[in-house]
Amino acid sequence: MVVLWQGFLAVTGTLVGVVTASVYFLQELLLYHPNMPGREYDELPSNYRLPFEDIEIITDDNVKLHAWLITQSSLDATKNASTLLYFHGNAGNISHRLTDVRNFHNLVKCNILMVSYRGYGRSEGKPSERGLTLDAEAALKVAQKHPSIDSSKVFLFGRSIGGAVAISLASKAANSVRGIIVENTFLSINHMIDSAIPILKVFKMLNRNRWDNLAKVKDTHLPILFLTVSEGPTRKPVF
């Protein structure tokens, strides 16, 4: 009986260890999905008759990113327009957001700088909270220095995890941004675990990708527009 009990404890301990290690070391694979539906660009802005420029961005940790700067039809219109830094969700890449961007471009008459995070699309590297934060900071520097952009008219837009990226950037660079639009973004990853995946609550202490938007938004003294549905399959209402 003692031998059986010892065997049970050994197996249980091994399983707990394997699950714990998996949650810690593979959490980026659970959160970031650059291969869903794929890393290849399905379309280009030209498919939507959007004037654009391919942009190469080098981050502070020397990761090469790919971005598109979608401009207005003339140089004067581009310089006079506001510019939206567009941060997409946790799956796919910038080519999968061109329908949305076309609406911003045609209806709002703004420029859009959209960047594929590290590990997404044509960008190098692997995604993480720290990495995406550096990506956003590098994209903002491009918007500030680009000769066709009025750096005093830069706004941030983020959907889902892109909203977390936008909030994180705004909390550090409020003087460089005019306002933020956040769509369907969570309070924090730990809060989302509590509400959507409660079975993982015991592993929250291992979480490296916290994206604590509730804490950061309190330090963001900028106009913010929050857009959300009342409820979704993986999220509860936010803010």
pLDDT digits (tens, 9 = 90+) for 183-202: 999 998 788 777 776 776 66
pLDDT digits (tens, 9 = 90+) for 17-75: 444 545 554 567 778 999 988 899 999 999 999 999 999 999 999 999 999 999 999 99
Among 80, 76, 144, 157, which residue's Cα sits nearest to residue 114?
Answer: 157
- Coil, helix or strand at residue 196: helix
Among 15, 25, 21, 33, which residue's Cα sits nearest to residue 88?
Answer: 33
Residue 207 scores a pLDDT above 90: no
204 pLDDT band, cuts 50/70/90, is low
pLDDT digits (tens, 9 = 90+) for 98-137: 999 999 999 999 999 999 999 999 999 999 999 999 999 9
pTM over 0.75: yes
The secondary structure of 62-115 as a DSSP string is --EEEEEEE--SSHHHHHHS-EEEEE--SBS-GGGGHHHHHHIIIII--EEEEE
Q: What is the pLDDT of residue 148?
A: 96
Residue type, 234: T
Question: The domain at 32-227 falls in which architecture?
Answer: 3-Layer(aba) Sandwich (3.40)
The residue ranges of every structural domain in the chain are 32-227
pLDDT digits (tens, 9 = 90+) for 167-179: 999 999 989 999 9
Tell me the pairing of strands 154-159 and 111-115.
Answer: unpaired
CB 196 within 8 A of CB 236: yes
Q: What is the pLDDT of residue 237?
A: 47
Cα separations (Å) of 170 from 190, 212, 219, 220? Answer: 21, 13, 9, 6
Which segment of 12-21, 84-93, 147-156 scores lowest on mean pLDDT? 12-21
What are the tokens at 200?
Answer: 């993982």
